Amino acid sequence: MNALTQLLGTEHPLIQAPMAGVQGAALAVAVCNAGALGSLPCAMLTPETMERELSAIAAGTTRPYNVNFFCHTQPEPDDAREAAWLFWLASYYEEAGLDINDVPRGPGRVPFNRAAADILERFRPKVVSFHFGLPDIDLLERVKSWGSVVISSATTIEEARWLEAFGVDAVIAQGVEAGGHRGMFLTDDLTTQIGTMALLPQIVAAVSVPVIAAGGIADAAGVAAAMALGASGVQVGTAYLCSAEATTSAVHRAALHTEAAHHTALTHVFTGRPARGIVNRVMRELGPMNPAAPAFPLATAAMAPLRAHWEAHGSGDFSPLWSGQNPSGCRELPAAEITRDLLPGFSGGR
C-alpha cells in the first residue's frame, strides 16, 4: 500500500492509460481484475456507447476503475481555415478516388459535458481522469460530489501546480515520450515538453499530491526507475496497445511490430493538437506539424475518409498510429499478463 493505492483503492499503483480509439471496456476489465486500475476513455464515445461500455465494466469487475475525458474548449468552426486545409489534402483525395466535397463535418471529439456527467453519476466510478486540464468548476465539483477521485495530466511544472491548485487528488506527469495526445493545456510551445526522467522529479518536488509517471514506461525496470524518481505510481499506455483485449486495428498493430515503430514524432495533422505517433506518409509529407491544420479537434474530419480508404487497402499511411517512444512492451498477450510483468518494478525488481 502507498498513498496512491490508498487513493485509487487498487492492489497495485499501476494505471492502464485510457486510450481513445483503441480500447473499450474489455481492456479496462482485464486490468482491473489483475489488480491495477483499468481505464475507459470516453473522448470518442457517443452517450449511448459510453453507457454501454460503463455497464460492461460494472458487470465485468467489482474493482475500482477509471473513466477518462478530454476537457478542451471546442473551437468555433473556421470555414476559411478548413477550406485551406482541404486544399492541402486535395491531391490525396484525388489519388484515392474520393470526393473532397463529401468531407464529413462534425466535432470529432467532444469535451466532458453535462450529458456525460449525467451518465457518469449513475456509475460513480472510483476514479475520473481528465486530459487537457480540467472541466469547468461546476462540472468538476459535480464529479467530486459523488466521491470520485480526480486526476489529470501535467506536461510542465506549471501545469502540475495549476492542477493541484484546482483540487486534483493526484497528478499524472506525462513525459514527452508518451504516445497519443500531449495533455498540455497552459502552453502550446513544444519546447516546454520534456522527457519523463526530467519532468517527474521536478513535478514531485513542486506538488504535494501523489505523482503518477507516464511516458516511455514499458517494463518492470521502467516502473522501478519511475518509482526511484519519486513517483507514487505509473500510467502505462503503449505497452497495452497489442494486448488481446485492445481494439487496436490490424494496420496499427502491424506497425507497432516493425522498425517503423522506432520512428515516432509529435504531429497535429490528424486532430489539430500535438500527439505522438509512428511516422507515416501523411506525417512525412504534410507535417509532422503544419500551421494550416484546423484547430483541435476539427482537423479530424478531413482525414477520416482518407484513413478509412487506405485502411481498407491494408495501409496505415493516413491513420493516426499513436505510439510512445518505447514500443518494446507491445506484445500480443492478454492484458493480465502485461500487467503482471510490470509489477516487479514496484519492489525494485526487473
Residues that bind ligand FMN (CB under 6 A): 17-20, 22, 41, 43, 68, 131, 153, 174, 177-181, 214-217, 235-238, 322, 324, 326
Give me the DSSP letters along 149-209: EEEEEESSHHHHHHHHHTT-SEEEEE-TT-SEE----S---GGG---HHHHHHHHHHH-SS
Q: State the minimum distance, in angstroms, from the CB of residue 97 to ligand FMN.
A: 29
**Spatial CB neighbours of 70, under 8 Å, sequence gap ≥ 6:** 20, 43, 109, 110, 111, 112, 130, 131, 132
Q: Which is nearer to ligand FMN, 235 or 243 (CB)?
A: 235
Give residue number: closest CB to ligand FMN: 237
Q: State the minimum distance, in angstroms, from the CB of residue 326 to ligand FMN.
A: 6
Q: Which is nearer to ligand FMN, 85 or 132 (CB)?
A: 132
Q: Which is nearer to ligand FMN, 103 or 330 (CB)?
A: 330
Q: State the minimum distance, in angstroms, from the CB of residue 324 to ligand FMN.
A: 3
Could you give the dihedral angle defined by the CA atoms of residues 31, 159, 204 and 324, in that order, rounded to the nearest 10 degrees?
A: 40
Cα–Cα distances in angstroms (integers) from residue 158 to residues 36, 136, 155, 161, in the given order:
29, 19, 8, 5
Q: Which is nearer to ligand FMN, 35 or 195 (CB)?
A: 195
Residues pairing with 15 in the sheet: 37, 235
Q: State the minimum distance, in angstroms, from the CB of residue 247 to ligand FMN.
A: 11
Q: State the minimum distance, in angstroms, from the CB of residue 121 to ligand FMN.
A: 21
Q: State the minimum distance, in angstroms, from the CB of residue 253 to ligand FMN.
A: 12
Q: Which is nearer to ligand FMN, 68 or 93 (CB)?
A: 68
Cβ–Cβ < 8 Å for 149, 8: yes
Q: Which is nearer to ligand FMN, 117 or 173 (CB)?
A: 173
